[in-house]
């Protein structure tokens, strides 16, 4: 039987954050603890900070991790906002070795999406739901009837002669000193592109810019509702912990032969 208390850790480009989560309710049962992501963010350096966070909580149980990369069977297949030395490394093995704990690792936007679908703006929603995290880049999580399609990385779609996040991420708004109206128009173009590809039933906007949705929502004109994420900065931690619960339930469920 899976424990109700799981440590969730969210690894980002600037910070690594953790908290113990009640995965029945989706609530943090400790204060969030944050340390800076090392520069450069190579495996040994990140693992050292990761171990410090686990030690802070005196934790010896299961750990779920949101990681800024395509992750398949625990192995990082890309590197976004971390060092390229992570590519082809087994992140689960690295983090397990430095902590002595069982660790499950998933793409960071995917775990944020899991949190929103379990406890937030996507709870109970059917059809195609797309979460877009707006920050340094554009992360994505795509669900069909509540089931995750992992590692979509829709911020890296070819768009406007480059890639989407180099046109419509919040970091570009700041770098090019765009007004919220001008940036909102760009972001709407990106959502319209996703409309043509996926015909979604709901967009959920997460990440830092989602907290300023009042400043740009009048520029959003797409074919389905667009709502802000409810869990905000806690979504990565909560979703990472929930990932462990979901994985464990799948492992415990017998496969029925037809």
CB 17 within 8 A of CB 236: yes
Residue 157: CATH number of its domain = 3.30.420.40
Say if 258 falls within a structural domain: no
* Least confident residue range of 22-26, 73-77, 180-184, 207-211: 207-211
CA 232: distance to chain centroid? 11
| CB contact at 8 A, 80 and 131 | no
> Residue 233: pLDDT above 50?
yes
Residue 24 maps to a domain: yes
Is the peptide bond between 191 and the residue preceding it cis, with omega within 30 degrees of 0? no
**Average pLDDT in the 203-227 region?**
93
CB atoms within 10 A of CB 62: 21
For residue 117, being part of any structural domain is answered with no
> Phi and psi at residue 18, in whole multiples of 5°?
-145, 160
Residue 87, token pair as written in the block: 């590519």
**Does 55 lie in the same domain as 99?**
yes
Enter the tokens of residue 28: 């943090």
The string of pLDDT tens digits covering residues 124-162 is 999 999 999 998 889 999 999 999 999 999 999 999 999
> Do residues 226 and 205 touch, judged by C-beta distance below 8 A?
yes
What is the rounded distance in angstroms from the CA atom of residue 216 to the CA atom of residue 238?
A: 27
Mean pLDDT of the chain: 92
User: Tens digit of pLDDT for each residue in 80-126?
Assistant: 778 999 999 999 999 999 999 999 999 999 999 999 999 999 999 99
Report the alpha-carbon distance of residue 6 to residue 59 in Å, rounded. Answer: 9
Q: How does pLDDT run across 17-58, given as a tens digit for each residue?
A: 999 999 999 999 999 999 999 999 999 999 999 999 999 999
Identify whether 75 is part of a domain: yes
- Per-residue confidence at 258, pLDDT binned at 50, 70, 90? very low
Collapsing DSSP states into helix, strand and coil, what is residue 89?
coil
- Residues 148 and 89 placed together within one structural domain of the fold: no
Total domains in the fold of the chain:
2
Give yes or no for a contact between 224 and 202, defined as CB atoms under 8 angstroms apart.
Answer: yes
Structure tokens belonging to residue 78: 């890309």
Q: Confidence band (pLDDT; 50, 70, 90) for 208?
A: confident
Residue 119 resides in a domain: no
Q: 51 is in which domain, residue-wise?
A: 5-110+234-252
Dig out the tokens for 122 from the structure. Answer: 């996507």
Residue 218 lies in a domain: yes
CA 257 – CA 229 distance, rounded (Å): 39
Q: Provide mean pLDDT across the span 216-239.
A: 94
| 163 is a domain residue | yes
Q: What pLDDT does residue 103 have?
A: 96
């Amino acid at each position: 039987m899976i424990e109700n208390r799981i440590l969730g850790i969210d690894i980002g480009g600037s910070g690594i954050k953790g908290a113990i989560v009640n995965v029945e309710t989706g609530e943090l049962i400790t204060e969030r603890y944050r340390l800076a992501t090392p520069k450069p963010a190579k495996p040994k350096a990140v693992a050292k900070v990761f171990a410090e966070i686990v030690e802070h909580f005196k934790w010896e149980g299961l750990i779920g991790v949101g990681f800024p990369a395509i992750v398949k069977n625990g192995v990082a297949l890309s590197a976004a906002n971390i060092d390229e030395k992570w590519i082809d490394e087994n992140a689960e093995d690295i983090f397990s070795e430095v902590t002595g704990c069982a660790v499950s690792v998933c793409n960071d936007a995917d775990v944020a999406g899991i949190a929103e679908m379990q406890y937030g703006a996507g709870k109970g929603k059917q059809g195609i739901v797309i979460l877009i995290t707006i920050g340094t880049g554009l992360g994505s999580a795509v669900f069909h009837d509540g089931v995750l399609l992992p590692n979509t990385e829709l911020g890296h779609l070819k768009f406007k002669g480059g890639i989407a996040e180099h046109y419509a991420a919040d970091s570009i708004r700041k770098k090019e000193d765009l007004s919220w109206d001008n940036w909102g128009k760009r972001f709407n173009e990106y959502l319209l592109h996703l409309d043509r590809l996926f015909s979604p039933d709901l967009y959920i906007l997460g990440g830092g810019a989602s907290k300023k949705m009042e400043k740009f929502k009048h520029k959003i004109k797409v074919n389905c509702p667009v709502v802000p994420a409810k869990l905000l900065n806690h979504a990565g931690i909560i979703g990472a912990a929930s990932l462990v619960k979901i994985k464990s339930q799948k492992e415990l469920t017998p496969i029925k032969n037809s």
